[in-house]
Amino acid sequence: MAKKWAFRAILAYALLGLILYAYLFYIAGSGVPESFKGSSADPSTFMNAKEILLSEDFSKIKNLLFFLSTPYEWLLYFLIMILGVSRMFEKWAKGTVKNGFLQTAIYLFWLSITTFIAIFPFQYISYQVSKAYNISTQTFSMWMKDETIDFWVNYLLMLIIVSVLYGLMKRFKQRWWLAAWALSVPFTIFMMFIQPVLIDPLYNEFYPLKNKELEAKILSLADQAGIPANHVFEVDMSEKTNSLNAYVTGVGSNSRIVLWDTTLEQLTDDEILFVMAHEMAHYVEKHIYIGIGIYLLLSFFGLFLASKLMRGIVANYGEEIKVDRVASLRSLPLFLLIISVLLFAVSPFSNWISRYQETRADRYAIELTQDKEAAITSFQKLSKVGLSQVNPPLLVKIFRYGHPTMLERLNMLEQYKMDTKEKEDPAESSP
């Protein structure tokens, strides 16, 4: 029975892969509508023919990898359960030590190693594709260093979470999800507080912005926006990527304004000020706190659904998936599978919220800087350097885009210009 279920799952994944490939490479269109030809949103106005071709090819490959990787994760968790691998890891852990925390650490280590090895091909292909299209500048050793850091950071965080979660499952058999959610509130806020000062520096070196003249302009902009900032941080990303980025991270006194050195090298000061004004908008409009609130709300219902689904699946199919009870460590792949499916299912909604916030941030940045030309050219450069599609397929936008498409953003900027002009014309024609 287990082999039959495993075969069917693998076959279903293969068929899904073929459907996704056909959709992304042959069915879905990503060209610019005729009405946008010649506008600032038309790639031919800021990319040459080769760059347009490369952006299409690169985006299709990355989109395919994205849509294949998540179901692959589901398949992996399913196979780990149904083939008895998770049960074997639990037996190894219990047969090695008697301490419950150490058993969890051993079980989680074997599960983490297994998933890391199984998912590694996707990670490596993604890295090689980025290298081939001149997006990534990392050497293999540098890339592996980041992957190793990722593994241990995720392992340590998961060890804390899983130890607490399964402790709650044993103590509160019916309401463990509610206790877990209650503890997730302070944990989430704590992680956002320490992320900029403890975790981010593990991957990159942060230092005060070298260009003091530009820093003064950014801090002046921050002052206009009412953001309490004394420094702007620069991070050396050119040794890893050619992509551009800037962001405001952290909460409270640990908030940071951060610029990638690639952004400093490839954007003008006016374009950088627009990008920073956009990032400042998230702080001003409290998008970080709204995001925390939405996340906690979704996690409340997510944990509730996970508890119901786990109980029902274990009760009806426990023998087939080799899980005897919900509170057993061997049920962790089932929990991770359910959470991953729920996160994917809710991603269209969370992405829609994010796109709405990003649109508001774009408008705020225009109003703060009063420089729409810099806004347009900065978005064009972001598309060109990142080889991103200006008008991605609908499913890609729904499931992958937390930002509006470049077509939407650039069109909004052009419309904003036309609206401004229309408001000025009556005054110019009045006696």
Closest CA to 84 of 312, 321, 315, 279: 321
Q: What is the pTM of this model?
A: 0.88
**Rounded Cα–Cα distance for residues 82 and 221 (Å):** 57
Q: Which of 73, 279, 371, 422 is catalytic?
A: 279
Q: Is 7 helix (H, G, I), strand (E, B) or coil?
A: helix
Q: What is the pLDDT of residue 418?
A: 40
pLDDT tens for 214-261 read 888 888 888 887 777 667 888 888 889 998 888 777 666 666 778 898
For the segment 403-413, the average pLDDT, to the nearest whole number, is: 92
Pick from 182-196, 270-284, 366-380: least confident: 182-196
Q: What is the pLDDT of residue 421?
A: 43
Q: What is the pLDDT of residue 177?
A: 95
Q: Is it the case that residue 420 has pLDDT exceeding 50?
A: no
pLDDT tens for 48-83 read 999 999 999 999 999 999 999 999 999 999 999 999
Q: What is the pLDDT of residue 424?
A: 42
Closest CA to 148 of 116, 195, 179: 116
Q: What is the pLDDT of residue 410?
A: 92
Q: What is the pLDDT of residue 161?
A: 95
Q: Is it the case that residue 404 has pLDDT exceeding 60?
A: yes
**Rounded Cα–Cα distance for residues 187 and 168 (Å):** 15
Q: What is the pLDDT of residue 429?
A: 35
Q: Is it the case that residue 423 has pLDDT exceeding 80?
A: no
For the segment 141-155, the average pLDDT, to the nearest whole number, is: 94
pLDDT tens for 175-229 read 999 999 999 888 888 887 777 778 888 888 888 888 889 888 888 888 887 777 6
Q: Is it the case that residue 425 has pLDDT exceeding 90?
A: no
- Six token digits for residue 411: 């069109």
State how far the alpha carbon of 70 is from the alpha carbons of 13, 271, 291, 335, in Å: 11, 35, 23, 15
Beta-strand pair 256-260/246-249: antiparallel
Dihedral of CA 94/99/100/106: which sign? negative
186 exposed, middle or buried (CB, 10 Å; 0-12, 13-18, 19+)? exposed
362 is catalytic: yes
Q: Decide if 5 contacts 320 (C-beta within 8 A).
A: yes
CA atoms within 13 A on the CB side of 120: 13
Q: Is it the case that residue 358 has pLDDT exceeding 90?
A: yes
282 assigned to a ligand binding site: yes
279 is catalytic: yes
Q: Decide if 195 contacts 250 (C-beta within 8 A).
A: yes
Q: What is the pLDDT of residue 333?
A: 96
Pick from 10-14, 127-131, 255-259, 263-267: least confident: 255-259
Q: Which of 362, 408, 414, 425 is catalytic?
A: 362
Closest CA to 269 of 355, 354, 356, 371: 371
pLDDT tens for 298-333 read 999 999 999 999 999 999 999 889 998 999 999 999
Which amino acid makes up residue 415? Q
Alpha-helical (H) ranges within 138-227 are: 140-171, 176-194, 212-224
Mean pLDDT, the chain, integer: 89
Q: Using 50, 70 and 90 to split pLDDT, how confident is the model at 428?
A: very low
Q: What is the pLDDT of residue 393?
A: 93
